[in-house]
Amino acid sequence: MSNPTAAMLVIGDEILSGRTREANAYHLAGRLTQVGIDLREIRVVPDDHAVIVDAITALRGAHAHVFTSGGIGPTHDDITADAVADAFGVGIDVREDARAHLQAAVGAGRTLTDEHLRMARIPHGAALIVNRMSGAPGFSVGNVHVMAGVPEIFVAMLDELLPGLDSGKPVLSRELRFDVGEGRIAAPLRALADEFRTLSVGSYPFRDASGYGTNIVVRGTDIELIDLAIERLEAIRRSVV
């Protein structure tokens, strides 16, 4: 059986404006590769309620998992939780277990503000994703997993979430360097990709201090098949040098 697929939804005007450099997709892709979940799609959308609802609805129907990043903080433009609730047609309210996490984070003697409680609003039926860094939890509704946009907190939440998700075989990779341009190897590379259809064969040109060339990366879940493809690539490399 093939690995389950996933999509990521990055939410925030600050990403689309270029004010903030997005880092969570890079981290998520690497971690999903390790556990055997195939990330197939990444979307970036603004802080627009209707756009977020439409994106969640489309992605959750197309993939086994959807991971969101951003929009669950205490300010007026943090609207992800409400959009997820609307996408699933459920209510949303302050939940006592989420409130307890926030109270523990700020300290037993302090009163939670309205801003704190905004981060304790959870869609009905959701499971919390514990946030051991700042207390404000993420949550999962169905196959949609809602996490913070702050990279350090996103990483921590993902570590909490991943062990409990359905996954598959880790995706492995090997790489071979060719000191020639892509044009020199395009035809034999196409034949190799046709022969090894269960593998991903990627071609990535580069230029460095020693000149230019092409890195070929072979990815898949069967290491023996990957090794065989690399043997074929080594033969191709010997023929073009």
pLDDT digits (tens, 9 = 90+) for 110-158: 999 999 999 999 999 999 999 999 999 999 999 999 999 999 999 999 9
Of 13, 5, 11, nearest to 60 by C-alpha is: 5
Of 86, 83, 94, nearest to 137 by C-alpha is: 94
pLDDT score recorded for residue 210:
85
**Together in a domain, 63 and 179:** no
**Together in a domain, 14 and 116:** yes
* Single-letter code of the amino acid located at 230: I
pLDDT score recorded for residue 109:
83
Name residues of the chain where pLDDT drops below 70. Answer: 1, 241
pLDDT score recorded for residue 241:
67
**Together in a domain, 177 and 150:** no
Of 69, 18, 79, 82, nearest to 39 by C-alpha is: 69
* End position of a domain, from candidates 132, 164, 196: 164
**Together in a domain, 193 and 160:** no
Q: How many domains does the chain have?
A: 2
CATH number of the domain within which 222 lies: 3.30.70
Q: Which domain holds residue 41?
A: 5-164
Query: Residue 234, exposed/middle/buried by CB under 10 A (0-12, 13-18, 19+)?
Result: exposed
* End position of a domain, from candidates 111, 132, 164: 164
Of 154, 156, 146, 144, nearest to 6 by C-alpha is: 144
pTM: 0.91
